[in-house]
């Protein structure tokens, strides 16, 4: 019996050593090609209050098209100060539900403030004019970033960032 | 009785092993590397961990995470292996990526350049942008000239890491907020 208990205790320790490793996956139709993409929102860390968030989009063949990461306590604030697995799982579930739109919904170049996009004007205007599929996900408590889907390349890229208040309709 | 206990222990261990196996199913490219740096503190080293995961190494997502000595995450960056090493997304029939290739990449990525902000190029008063003031690379900074020059003059500890095939980002600890911030991104 002691042997079994020792074995189970060892198993328990190994689980604990895994820390905060929670993943939520959701299907998504971003490209509009009929293929199904997948969003994975993950928390990784020694404990949930010290976790890093990883946001990834994979195409139907399993190739990663977009990946973004941030320290969760720093980006999303006090909610993670005492976060346990349940809090983090709820957060990831919500995080994995991005807002879908097209690039024409993005502000015109002249309406952008410095730092909202890393693209040059020619590229930004071209992407907007082509009205490409776009996905916006939270990058902070009052901030989100929008990613465009480039059908010719079959990949995604950062389009622009904005304050969440601006998106409230 | 002894046999029954042995079987019980074996079952317990086997159940535990299965759990771990399930957790790693579908991740055919789980690799990592770490590197210590003296960045945010003069008394304790920060730890940089680079990691890959994916069904294959050619399809891997890679992460770059900096934690302080207490394990608090300071900075995180994610991309794809292909985007960081070749740019864009892999074409049809792209060659496989060997485990050794991934290990070498992750070790190199974690081995950041440690510098001081004073080593960054000057943003001359007559230059409209930092890039216009720099000689070798194209530089981008989120700061105005006054703030940039103040941060440069403070000669703060800085680490620089690869953020794209030819692009590098440099981080400092903001003296005001004590939080990590990117001071420049540069490339050809």
Q: Does B131 touch chain A (CB under 8 A)?
A: no
Tell me the pLDDT tens digit for each residue of B55-103: 999 999 999 999 999 999 999 999 999 999 998 888 888 889 999 999 9
Three-state DSSP class for A57? strand
Per the domain annotation, does A6 fall within a domain? Answer: no
Per the domain annotation, does A65 fall within a domain? Answer: yes
C-alpha B43/C-alpha B170 separation (Å) is 22
C-alpha A35/C-alpha A63 separation (Å) is 13
- Residue A165 token pair: 């208040």
The DSSP letter of residue B76 is: E
Beta carbons of A39 and A67 less than 8 angstroms apart: no
Count CB pairs under 8 A between chains A and B: 99
Range of A118's domain? 18-167
Can you give the pLDDT at residue A79? Answer: 77
Average pLDDT over residues B16-41: 68
Q: What percent of chain A has pLDDT over 70?
A: 86
Can you give the pLDDT at residue B6? Answer: 41
C-alpha B108/C-alpha B86 separation (Å) is 15
pLDDT at B31 over 50: yes
Contact partners, residue B13, CB within 8 Å, separation at least 6:
A7, A10, A11
C-alpha B102/C-alpha B86 separation (Å) is 13
Can you give the pLDDT at residue A78? Answer: 75
Per the domain annotation, does A157 fall within a domain? Answer: yes
Tell me the pLDDT tens digit for each residue of A55-84: 999 988 888 999 999 999 989 987 787 888
pLDDT band at B27 (very low <50, low <70, confident <90, very high): confident
Question: B65–A64: do the CB atoms touch at under 8 Å?
Answer: no
Per the domain annotation, does A7 fall within a domain? Answer: no
Q: Does A10 touch chain B (CB under 8 A)?
A: yes
Number of domain units in chain A: 1
Query: Any idea where the domains of chain B sit in the sequence?
Result: 24-111, 112-188
- Residue B132 token pair: 């216009």
Angle subtended by helix axes A2-17 and B2-24, to nearest 10: 10
Nearest to B71 among A50, A54, A68 (CB): A50
Average pLDDT over residues A19-40: 89
């Amino acid at each position: 019996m002691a042997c079994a208990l020792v074995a189970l205790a060892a198993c328990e320790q190994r689980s604990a050593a895994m820390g905060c490793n929670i993943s939520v996956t959701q299907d998504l139709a971003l490209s509009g090609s009929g293929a199904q993409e997948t969003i994975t929102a993950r928390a990784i860390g020694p404990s949930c209050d010290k976790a890093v968030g990883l946001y990834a989009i994979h195409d139907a063949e399993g190739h990663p098209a977009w990946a973004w990461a941030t320290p969760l306590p720093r980006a999303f604030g006090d909610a993670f100060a005492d976060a346990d697995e349940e809090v983090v799982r709820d957060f990831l579930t919500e995080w994995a539900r991005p807002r879908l739109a097209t690039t024409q919904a993005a502000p015109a170049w002249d309406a952008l403030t410095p730092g909202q996009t890393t693209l040059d004007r020619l590229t930004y205007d071209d992407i907007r004019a082509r009205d490409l599929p776009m996905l916006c996900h939270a990058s902070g408590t009052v901030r989100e970033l929008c990613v465009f889907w480039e059908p010719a390349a079959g990949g995604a890229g950062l389009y622009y960032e904005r304050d969440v208040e601006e998106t409230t309709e | 009785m002894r046999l029954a206990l042995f079987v019980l222990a074996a079952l317990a261990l086997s159940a535990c092993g299965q759990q771990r196996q399930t957790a790693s199913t579908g991740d055919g490219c789980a690799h990592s590397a770490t590197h210590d740096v003296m960045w945010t503190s003069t008394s304790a080293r920060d730890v940089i961990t680079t990691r890959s995961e994916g069904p294959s190494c050619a399809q891997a997502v890679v992460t770059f995470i900096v934690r302080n000595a207490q394990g608090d995450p300071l900075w995180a960056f994610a991309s794809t292996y292909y985007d960081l090493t070749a740019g864009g997304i892999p074409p049809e029939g792209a060659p496989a990526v060997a485990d050794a290739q991934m290990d070498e990449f992750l070790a190199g990525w974690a081995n950041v350049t440690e510098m001081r902000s004073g080593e960054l190029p000057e943003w001359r008063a007559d230059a409209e942008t930092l890039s216009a003031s720099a000689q070798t690379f194209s530089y981008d900074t989120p700061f105005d000239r006054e703030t940039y020059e103040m941060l440069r003059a403070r000669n703060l500890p800085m680490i620089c890491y690869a953020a794209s095939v030819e692009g590098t980002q440099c981080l400092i600890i903001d003296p005001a907020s004590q939080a990590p911030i990117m001071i420049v991104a540069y490339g050809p």
